[in-house]
Structure 1
């Protein structure tokens, strides 16, 4: 009887963590579609919302790990959800202000920054919890990939909904266009807080030791140190690929764009996240047999090849697409560069990278796992830094040529898979 009760508690904990995994994507993936609006008012502003969202990780990564060791996973998750509600509320306030004023943009960025604290803490809770509930190893990675599937589903729907609300982008487009999405987000956060409040979680043991000693102990593992760098680059890759694609396809034709449609751009970006869902779903089934190292090696290599072909493919090579307009309930036919297909196919490759990097980097860390997760979250700031660098590079060399930065980061992923992830404990 006691064993059955323990199993039931473990199942409830796993389901709750999976739900929170979806919340992370919902908040994070609003930034890029919103950025297509702000870019029309300030050229430099396209990725700033995303940057603020991820900048919070730099400040909250280690404190989030400390919160887990002191207060436990459930209380830490509740704090995160409360911060998410506040952050979305601030963004909602900005949507009711003058859409073309710099002050409005500052308020929006503040909301994005607060939301960043939310997703950072949730990430710190979810990943080690699922890894530990699965017992580490391939089973731990399997649970992380399953949670990642729900994360990708939320990530798929968010840019699609935002794009349908924004429709065609002009100089007059403001954040008021996405007010309904912000209201939906507020309702989801409120409901999530209530659900987690009444959920009984079986807390895994954490090491309640000196913080600096914990960090020093965790950094004694070479695979973790190199894995932290890998996570910095990986999040930049995951966000940068669809983020820059949104700008590439939504830029008005009159200003040199190839399509000029936020609706189609949002749908195509949504397909990227949908392919991540497919990849994670497949990985959840094969991770029990295929090692994390092999998965990272194959996916990094394939993604490099796809992007190299896309970069050199002529823009005149096009394909016809018929996509639904969710706002108008009609079908839209458009001609888009064929290279777009190769770029979104990278979603299958990037889908498994988070889970396998986390799994490889924390293998054998034991009591340092929570501290390691906090260090990981700090370096997720790469999801703000690298896409911002890519976006600024694109203003100089063009959207497609900016993907050379992604190729270079994928090269590091391949190095980590082949050599950097080998477990080595420093003396």
Structure 2
């Protein structure tokens, strides 16, 4: 009995540790937004380059991270990731103290200095870190939950903390830095970098002393007869992950562009606010799923949310733009000030938004559980091939860079709302996966 209690206590500590890592992933990723604003003032083309470098790292590190887990185990991989993340943040800090007056090459818009190159290198290295951490935390939570509904439940709990951290990071940046202007530099966000490094170092020592289960570590010189690519449901899940990340990024991105193009004061800020509602609803959806996943199967949840998302987007596409909702705020309210809305001396700020914008934002509730759901279904029954599969899934995060570009091309040709047909097509695939594609038809392959 004491042995079982010890095992249970170790399992609980491991779960808490993995959820903590899940939150850290979002913390590091979302620091790119305030940093991008700073570089955007100096180089108009560089505002999104930090995020791009972060996502690009997944393409290069996904499969190696899976192999690292396979050969070194979850704990060592997490420790290596945290060390790499600390180095990445340190390099980004170095961009604040030198290189500002050292030109590296020249574009039509002017000279590009060394400090930007240093920052992008640091962002790329941090991308390696979050890729490895993602590769660790998803299969580990699934395994700690015993797979199935309970495994999905733990992934959704971790995802909730991930969303909460992602929501709070920009707020923390605002408290520490204030409003970003043309005079703001990387030295002004040094406190945020130091907090990130402190969190990584603290997490390193916590994980060092925590006993983490190490299932299916590959023994030296042992060759596997198969791979995750041998399982049809895993291959289809890999495609689903690629599409999902495109859906997650594409829905709010085009919503911002659509609202920003409207003719009222502060339209761009209102577009950003609606996108923030989308992310907030994602957090709420994950939180709700963490309660029901023990009783409601992953397959059922995925089927329902995919169907609802398609119906919401179809309604949004066909609903006339003349069907609108009116919003009003006190002109001196904090929200109106935050959105940079001008009351023109009336004391009340009023603006009108097509109802379809609200329907699109509500999709955040639906997309919230798709990542965890697809992962949970795709690794079911993989056994010793789970670590490899996790690395492949991380590589497919690059879909968040590819599919929004395709959607944006459609938006430029046919309009932002028409571009949501691309989203519908991707969600339709996810619905197919939930209904039929997730079935393991390769149970004859040994996985122990």
Check the 8 A contact 1:163/1:267 in 2, yes or no. no
Check the 8 A contact 2:266/2:341 in 1, yes or no. no
Count of equivalent residues: 422
Distance apart, 1:35 and its partner CA? 4.7
Greater shift, 377-386 or 312-321, is seen at 312-321
- Distance in 2 (CA, whole Å) between partners of 1:257 and 1:109 is 34
Alignment of 1:76-115 (within 5 A): 76-94=77-95, 98=100, 102-103=112-113, 104-115=115-126
Check the 8 A contact 1:280/1:351 in 2, yes or no. yes
Q: TM-score, normalised by structure 2?
A: 0.81
Distance 1:243 1:361, change over 3 A: same
Matched, 1:231 2:231: no
Distance 1:412 1:59, change over 3 A: same
1:342 to 335, 350, 359: 359
Distance apart, 1:119 and its partner CA? 0.9
Match of 1:385 in 2: 402
2:141 to 121, 130, 140: 130
SS of residue paired to 1:380: helix
Task: Provide the alpha-carbon RMSD of the alignment.
Answer: 3.7
2:313 to 307, 318, 334: 307
Check the 8 A contact 1:142/1:288 in 2, yes or no. yes
Match of 2:31 in 1: 30
- Distance in 2 (CA, whole Å) between partners of 1:72 and 1:319 is 55
5+ residue gaps, structure 2: 102-109, 343-348
Distance 1:257 1:326, change over 3 A: closer
**1:182-240 deviation per Cα after TM superposition (whole angstroms, max 9, x unaligned):** 343333223322322332323334343769746x4321110000100100111122223
1:116 to 127, 135, 141: 127
Distance apart, 1:417 and its partner CA? 1.5
**1:153-206 deviation per Cα after TM superposition (whole angstroms, max 9, x unaligned):** 112223445578888888777666755543433332233223223323233343
Check the 8 A contact 1:57/1:377 in 2, yes or no. yes
Distance 1:17 1:117, change over 3 A: same
Check the 8 A contact 1:162/1:266 in 2, yes or no. no
Distance apart, 1:25 and its partner CA? 1.5
- Distance in 1 (CA, whole Å) between partners of 2:112 and 2:63 is 32
Alignment of 1:274-423 (within 5 A): 274-312=280-318, 313-314=320-321, 317-320=324-327, 324=334, 335=351, 337-338=353-354, 339-391=356-408, 394=411, 398-423=415-440
Check the 8 A contact 1:156/1:271 in 2, yes or no. no
1:186 to 177, 180, 197: 197
SS of residue paired to 1:102: strand
Pair member with larger Rg? 2
SS of residue paired to 1:381: helix
Distance apart, 1:128 and its partner CA? 0.9
- Distance in 1 (CA, whole Å) between partners of 2:255 and 2:92 is 24
5+ residue gaps, structure 1: none
**1:74-95 deviation per Cα after TM superposition (whole angstroms, max 9, x unaligned):** 1211111122222233333445
Q: TM-score, normalised by structure 1?
A: 0.84
Distance 1:85 1:401, change over 3 A: farther
SS of residue paired to 2:327: strand
Check the 8 A contact 1:124/1:377 in 2, yes or no. yes
2:166 to 129, 149, 155: 155
**1:70-119 deviation per Cα after TM superposition (whole angstroms, max 9, x unaligned):** 22211211111122222233333445665986345443332221111111
Matched, 1:8 2:16: no
Distance apart, 1:336 and its partner CA? 6.2
